Structure 1
Amino acid sequence: MTPATGPWDLLAPGAAEIAMLAACRVGGLVLVAPMFASRTVPMPVRTALLLVLTLVLLPAAQASALPGAHLTPAAFLAESLIGFSIGLGAALLVGAAELAADLSSQAIGLSGAAVMDPLGGHQTSALGQFFGLLAATLLLASDGHHVMLEAVARSFARVPVGAEPNVGEALRVLVRQGAVLFSLGLRFAAPVIAAALVTNVGLGVLSRAVPQLNLMNLAFPVQIFVGLGALVVSLPFLGLATRGWGDQVRTMAGAVMNALLRGS
């Protein structure tokens, strides 16, 4: 079977198979990227976005497709994993920001104020909602959606449609990449947790030194004030994380694509 070579050559032999596999790769991105996968985006809009992006990226898929692209479950899974790994970079950054905010809320005593997260459709702390929206806004402001679409377009040359994938190795690499969420979340929340710990120790020492003081009414507002102050001071670190986010997406997607090609 000869792959299609012209732009949007939908009538060439194998064009339908290439288009369906390319749609799986784009669908993996739309499924997980925060700006595309938000529950506030209606399903018809996401479906239309998937079709439009597939048509836009189809020439890149056709230009590098290998002869004999078959619609096998392994091929569908491999294509979805590539798009998933590209969108996972953005999802991990937003998730790490929300995790850091939840950890900070628990440290300073604001974990009881739960609100509905419009991006994820689940309950989170007020700080978690703020940090999640802030991270998503920073990604859009830094052209994160363009970075991901460019990565998908370049991935067709790196892993052509029709390549024999090593899905098991790619899944193992993708699971290991998920550990980045917890490390980033802890690093973002570390200043607030440290400030809350120092405040608690200081209040404990003060209550021992001056037992006459009624610190029960004072401890809670002081802890919140110090924690929010540390949170404001640490906000620039979130902006710094978005600067190198594009390299993280390329590294993560490259690791998954290398794993897919390993042993093929």
Structure 2
Amino acid sequence: MNAPAFGFPDFLAPGIPQAFVLTALRVGGLVLVAPAWSARTVPMKLRTALLVIFAVLLLPSALDTADRSTLAITPATFLAETVVGFALGFAAALTVAGAEFAGELATTTIGLSGAAIFDPVNNTQVAILASFMQIMTVTLLLIAGGHIVMLQAVARSFVAMPLGAPVAMDRGLLSLVKASATIFGSGLQFAAPVIAAILLTNLALAILGRAAPQLQIMSLAFPLQIGIGLLAFAGALGLVVQALGGWSEQYGTTMDGFVRAAHVAPAPATEALR
């Protein structure tokens, strides 16, 4: 490899332009769905600049395992590299989606379904607690260095999935669909304290209403349900922080499943992506 100043390859050497384009496609798939980078508030020009910068920085890692003599930009390699990058970003987005789903459940359970606010990340109207959970989770993810973990995963993915290597995209995407079931599991786990608290509150109010019919239970039920629900929601936030503590392991497990389903040797991926 021609490696002149600063450790970067000669971009005019044979195979280097193809490798750069394929690397940019893999990074582009990541930026397409990864938390924070995929936000609509990020200008397209800035997103494109980040894509080019990341592709240049990751190109030496890609060339270490790629066969430059066989690299070619074809529809198959175009889709394969994009899908690999998409998988890297999608695996990171699962945690944020699970927390957002928990916010949706909590909002509906408490009785705040009509309280929708503007989501600055996606430029849409969402439930108030869902927006709070999304912003909080993305913030914690960035504080924990999640964006660095994703870039390291892209760099190490070239060991398990070299540029231009064949990828069984149908089975790989199927593994991602199966992994998306964790959204509902984690969301229900995060929202479980709120659901349990509201269930007990409604049960207690129902018993009180039967024991003392003269009391105006309905006038007390709504504010009491909101107050108890918000207190339970505040206590459940620790579950999100605890889940983010093991985020990198879950991220590596999801990617290892993708690699196995895509018929690429799983052993290097397990060591590289975790």
- TM-score w.r.t. the length of structure 2 is 0.91
In the aligned structure 1, how far is the partner of 2:76 from the partner of 2:169?
7
Structure 2 counterpart of 1:164: 166
Correspondent of 1:237 among 224, 236, 239? 239
Amino acid corresponding to residue 208 of structure 1 in structure 2? R
Q: Contact 1:89 / 1:245 at 8 angstroms: preserved in 2?
A: no
The alpha-carbon deviation at position 85 of structure 1 amounts to 1.6
In the aligned structure 1, how far is the partner of 2:211 from the partner of 2:111?
24
Structure 2 counterpart of 1:60: 61
In the aligned structure 1, how far is the partner of 2:15 from the partner of 2:22?
11
List aligned pairs for 1:72-91, cutoff 5 A. 72-91=74-93
- TM-score w.r.t. the length of structure 1 is 0.94
Correspondent of 1:221 among 211, 220, 223? 223
Q: What are the ranges of 5 or more consecutive residues in structure 2 without an aligned counterpart?
A: 266-274
The number of aligned residues is 260
The alpha-carbon deviation at position 35 of structure 1 amounts to 1.2
RMSD: 1.4
Shifted more, 151-160 versus 58-67: the winner is: 58-67
Structure 1 counterpart of 2:39: 38
Q: Contact 1:135 / 1:238 at 8 angstroms: preserved in 2?
A: yes
SS at match of 1:261: coil
In the aligned structure 1, how far is the partner of 2:162 from the partner of 2:28?
16
The alpha-carbon deviation at position 262 of structure 1 amounts to 4.7
SS at match of 1:124: strand
Amino acid corresponding to residue 20 of structure 2 in structure 1? A
The alpha-carbon deviation at position 36 of structure 1 amounts to 0.3
SS at match of 1:164: coil
Structure 2 counterpart of 1:191: 193
The alpha-carbon deviation at position 122 of structure 1 amounts to 1.8
List aligned pairs for 1:112-131, cutoff 5 A. 112-131=114-133
Amino acid corresponding to residue 48 of structure 1 in structure 2? A
The alpha-carbon deviation at position 165 of structure 1 amounts to 1.6
Measured against aligned partners, the alpha-carbon deviations of 1:39-71 in whole angstroms (never above 9, x if no partner) come to: 110111101110110011011111111241222
In the aligned structure 1, how far is the partner of 2:94 from the partner of 2:103?
14
What is the identity percentage for the equivalent residue pairs of Structure 1 and Structure 2? 47
The alpha-carbon deviation at position 89 of structure 1 amounts to 2.6
Structure 2 counterpart of 1:94: 96
In the aligned structure 1, how far is the partner of 2:130 from the partner of 2:19?
40
List aligned pairs for 1:8-47, cutoff 5 A. 8-47=9-48
Correspondent of 1:147 among 146, 149, 161? 149
Q: Contact 1:170 / 1:259 at 8 angstroms: preserved in 2?
A: yes
Q: Contact 2:141 / 2:244 at 8 angstroms: preserved in 1?
A: yes
SS at match of 2:215: coil
In the aligned structure 1, how far is the partner of 2:173 from the partner of 2:89?
15
Measured against aligned partners, the alpha-carbon deviations of 1:165-189 in whole angstroms (never above 9, x if no partner) come to: 2112111111111111111111111
SS at match of 1:11: coil
In the aligned structure 1, how far is the partner of 2:63 from the partner of 2:78?
16
Q: Contact 2:160 / 2:264 at 8 angstroms: preserved in 1?
A: no
SS at match of 1:34: coil
Amino acid corresponding to residue 40 of structure 2 in structure 1? R
SS at match of 1:188: helix
SS at match of 1:13: coil
